[in-house]
Amino acid sequence: MIILCLNCGSSSVKYRLYDWEKKDVLATGLVERVTVGGSFIVHEVPGRENLTLKRECPDHRMAIQLVLDTLVNKEHGVIGSVAEIGAVGHRVVHGGEKFAKSVIITPDVLDTFRKLCDLAPLHNPPNIMGIEAAQAVMPGIPHMAIMDTAWHQTMPPHSYIYALPYHWYAKYGVRRYGFHGTSFLYNAKRASVLLKKDPFKCNLVIAHIGNGASINAVRNGLSYDTSMGMTPQEGLVMGTRAGDHDAAIDFFIMAKENLTPKDMDNILNKKSGVYGITEKFTDRRDIEMAAEKGDQRAQLAIDVEAYRIKKYIGAYAAAIGGIDAVVFTAGVGEMAPIIREWALSGMEYMGIKLDKARNNITMTRNAECEISAPDSKVKAFVIPTDEESVFIEDVAALKAGNYDVHTNFAYTFQKAGYRNRMRDAAFIKQAAKRPGLAQVAVNPPPELVALEKMAGLK
């Protein structure tokens, strides 16, 4: 069965095409600038040069049609016809309290997503537009929804209820929901493999650090608490989001500068975070380079972001009674050693002992690495996230009729012998250019191990 995974944002469509029987990624890509003009697609096929093609996409239906046209193109495509696609998986950011697992999309399910738009006004509407567009151009095949919030439905009430008038929760659904659920699910299962433990006997703190960032306390393999709240605004310092701060500041500044609620919402979501501190940068690489050149504001942004991560690690370790490992994932978590170092420094009293040399060389999205010292009682891992693998397995199981909540369902990537062939191939090339990288990988590709033995490196 060929599975198409779609992640539709307000102006983008991200996709992956996967052959379930062969366990192979056929293609990945992204359509950018949907609805805003100057649209283009970047199409990637393993073993080929990337393709960039310009075509105007005034709406999501045109963008998805562009994806399908590219996938079946005689020169650049990977399948003979759209009819070969057996199912489609869609990312949906907010599933509220209604869904604790992925579902087949029905009219009732879609109507529930519409009702939840007030809780995720920036995310659910484009997700819904993508679903409707895909159903229009691919009728007659099942479409499934994979929700960011589903993983967190195991949180106890004392984790998700705010100290606000309770009837707000009863009437409007005001509570902590949490996000990045598919990433946390993948990382929790993979961490259990690296720890060689039953996934439901693992206590973890997982930090998904990207432009959007959140942190998750995992107790006995289940989400126990998470930093994002009713919306993605709460918690860690992010690229452009403020995260935790005194809510009274918002009212104070609104009065001082005569701002509307919409103005303040825009500031908190798009002009705060590390961008708010530096007033220049959102990309952590730019911030790190600026700090190295003496930019004090850039250094302050690094300090503030890392300190917030450190506080959450300590708080969550206390909340779940001690941890087996800390996991860093997503773009910044995988590629920014300085953030990881500052977040974990001085935590030896908690059993976390960072190996700075291993941490400094660990910058890869293709292999799982250990950055803790050999004698560290609590492990520290960098695990490249793979949300699409969760999508694919959920879709395949829903189609086959054997899917269930993750406590009753075993993913292939939680097996000890699991390998991602596409990432293995990329890591072999990457390790050849960066001496020492292979040594920090927990489970490097067998082909790389063989090559290193032949070269006398081990």
What pLDDT shows up at residue 243? Answer: 96
pLDDT tens digits along 127-173: 898 899 899 989 989 999 999 999 999 999 999 999 999 999 999 99
Q: List the one residue out of 133, 144, 149 whose CA is nearest residue 94.
A: 149
Question: How many CB atoms sit inside 10 A of residue 31's CB?
Answer: 26
pLDDT tens digits along 18-41: 999 988 899 999 999 998 899 999
User: Residue 393: helix, strand or coil by DSSP?
Assistant: helix
pTM of the model: 0.93
What pLDDT shows up at residue 451? Answer: 60
Provide the 8-state DSSP code for 72: T
Q: Would you tell me which CATH number, out of the four given (3.30.530.20, 3.40.50.360, 3.30.420.40, 3.40.50.300), belongs to the domain 2-147? A: 3.30.420.40
What is the mean predicted confidence (pLDDT) over 372-392?
95
- Domain extent listing, the chain: 2-147, 195-382, 419-458
pLDDT band at 89 (very low <50, low <70, confident <90, very high): very high
CB 448 within 8 A of CB 427: yes
Query: Which CATH topology does 195-382 take?
Result: Nucleotidyltransferase; domain 5 (3.30.420)
Angle at 356 between CA 352 and CA 362, to 5 degrees: 100
- Kindly list the catalytic residues: 148
Same fold flag, 2-147 and 195-382: yes
